Amino acid sequence: MTLGTKIAWDDTVLPFQLDASDIRGRVARLDGVLDNVLAQHDYPPEIEALVAEMALLTALIGQSIKLRWKLSLQVRGDGPARIIATDYYAPTDDGEPAQIRAYASFDETRIEGGEEPFSLIGKGYFAILIHQGEDMQPYQGITPIAGGSLTACAQTYFAQSEQLPTRFTLVHGRSQSPGDEESWRAGGIMLQHMPAASPFAKDGPSGEDGLLDAADVLNDEEGENWNRVNVLLDTVDALELIGPSVTPTDLLVRLFHEEQPRVFDPQQVRFGCTCSEDRVRQSLSIYSAKDIAHMTKDDGTVTADCQFCGTHYSFDPKTLGFEADKGA
Instruction: Note the pLDDT tens digit of each residue in 214-259.
Output: 767 777 888 899 999 999 999 999 999 998 889 999 999 999 999 9
* Average pLDDT over every residue of 255-268: 95
Tell me the pLDDT of the chain averaged across its residues.
88
- Residue 178 — very low, low, confident or very high, per pLDDT cuts 50/70/90? low
**Which residue, 274, 271, 255, is CA-closest to 263?**
255
What is each CA distance from 28 to 135, 189, 190, 218, 298, in whole angstroms?
Answer: 31, 6, 8, 26, 47
* Average pLDDT over every residue of 171-192: 85
CB 102 within 8 A of CB 86: yes
Whole-angstrom Cα distance, residue 327 to residue 227?
Answer: 64
Q: What is the pLDDT of residue 67?
A: 75
pLDDT above 70 as % of the chain: 89
∠ CA 113-115-116, nearest 5°, is 145
In the beta sheet, which residues pair with residue 167? 191
Express each pLDDT in 149-177 by its tens digit.
Answer: 999 999 999 998 888 999 999 999 987 66
Q: What is the pLDDT of residue 100?
A: 96
pLDDT of 82 over the 90 cut: yes
* Average pLDDT over every residue of 298-327: 80
Express each pLDDT in 13-41 by its tens digit.
Answer: 999 999 999 999 999 999 999 999 999 99
Q: What is the pLDDT of residue 288?
A: 82
Q: What is the pLDDT of residue 6?
A: 64
Q: What is the dihedral of CA 34, 52, 191, 215, to 10 degrees?
A: -170
- Residue 319 — very low, low, confident or very high, per pLDDT cuts 50/70/90? confident
Q: What is the pLDDT of residue 244?
A: 86
Q: According to DSSP H, which parts of the chain are helical? A: 32-39, 45-64, 150-157, 220-233, 238-242, 248-256, 277-284, 289-295, 322-327
Q: What is the pLDDT of residue 99?
A: 95
pLDDT of 4 over the 50 cut: no
What sign does the CA torsion over 143, 144, 145, 149 have? negative
pLDDT of 120 over the 80 cut: yes
Q: What is the pLDDT of residue 49?
A: 96
pLDDT of 89 over the 80 cut: yes
Q: Are strands 81-89 and 98-106 parallel, antiparallel or unpaired?
A: antiparallel
Q: What is the pLDDT of residue 324?
A: 47
Q: What is the pLDDT of residue 5?
A: 52
Whole-angstrom Cα distance, residue 192 to residue 153?
Answer: 15
Residues 6+ away with beta carbon under 8 Å from 77: 120, 121, 122, 123, 124, 145
What is the set of domains in the chain, with CATH numbers? 12-271 (3.55.30.10), 277-327 (3.90.1280)
